[in-house]
Amino acid sequence: MLRASSKSSSCTRRRGRRSIVAEAWKNTAVLQRGLIDVAAHARTMLDAAGYGDVRVITRDGALGAREHAPFDRMIATVGVWDLPAAWWDQLAIGGRLVLPLRWRGLTRSVAFIRDKDRMRSDSVKTCGFLPMIGQDGEREGHIDADRLIKIYWDADQPIVPLALRGAIAQPGTCAWSEATVGPEDPFDGVWLRLTATEPGTCRITVKPAAIDGGLRRPAVPALSPALVQGGSLAYLTLRPLAEGGGAESRFRLGAAVGYGSDGVDLAERLCEQIRAWDRDRTAEPVLTAYPADTPDSRLITGQVIDKPSVRLMISY
């Protein structure tokens, strides 16, 4: 966490990052969770590099550093699933919070600006960080007897993996959009679109043996977006436009469907968001975070994700 002006604090692990932060803001503080040896090493290296005014604090980062608040800038360098209440209290009005935020199976670096009763993003970028210790709102479970297919979802979602076992055992069909991508074209924006519109958005991972056994290949087997509704499932897939294409071949995006009674409807809804993404592939969502006790009447229009300390709204 950082404050720009007279005070600042930061959660980080690398000396180079600390040095950059210290150059940008005076009186920086570094928080380490329970890593006494790491904190001692950080203190030694910072002193050796001439940054003796940087404070190193060993504690749970979710608690912040109330004794040095308020902060104008806060940075988290671990994947955060919820926004701790202490961070709200310690971030000044107009202050900036930058963190790797996790929701619906994905992670994005989000930059929030704090207003009086909310935080609103002005940047949402791809990133990857290890998750923060102690936040247990993410769930995971296999949906097949052979444990080859796993889904990841959030605690606020009524997803039951075993309810999908019968559906996934049935033959699947596909629905296709008109959108195409090249081998190096990113399409993770589809996932973001789904989180802004579909409450059943989650992540699916599939091992090669399941694909060899006849399951339709997800667009990225290690991490692809999926929609779950009761005992039904649809997920993002792709197919080459031409057989035996080379390095410049293109792929059509679609949804693998036929899994459960609502599978066809889920696939069409997934394709609808593929088309929305295709119309403006560079558009970023706006994330608005409210304290958990904010009533519905004070929320902006959008998909709400309820977490213990925050109500997160995602809109385009």
Domain at 22, CATH number: 3.40.50.150
Q: Is residue 5 one of the residues assigned to a domain?
A: no
Q: Give a yes or no: residue 1 inside a domain.
A: no
What letter represents residue 144's amino acid?
A: D
Q: What is the pLDDT along the chain (316 residues), one digit of tens a residue?
A: 333 333 444 544 444 455 555 555 555 555 656 566 788 888 888 889 888 888 888 888 888 888 888 999 999 988 999 999 999 999 999 999 999 999 999 999 999 999 999 999 999 999 988 888 878 899 999 999 999 999 999 999 999 999 999 889 887 789 999 999 999 999 999 999 999 999 999 999 999 999 999 899 999 999 999 999 999 999 999 999 987 655 578 999 998 877 888 999 999 999 999 999 999 999 999 999 999 999 999 998 878 999 999 999 999 9
Residue with tokens 């993002």: 236
**Full residue range of the structural domain in which residue 73 is found:** 15-135+284-315
Task: State how many domains the chain has.
Answer: 2
Does any domain span residue 239?
yes
Would 9 be classed as within a structural domain? no
User: Do residue 146 and residue 269 come from a single domain?
Assistant: yes
34 and 127 part of one domain: yes
Verify that 306 and 252 share a domain, yes or no: no
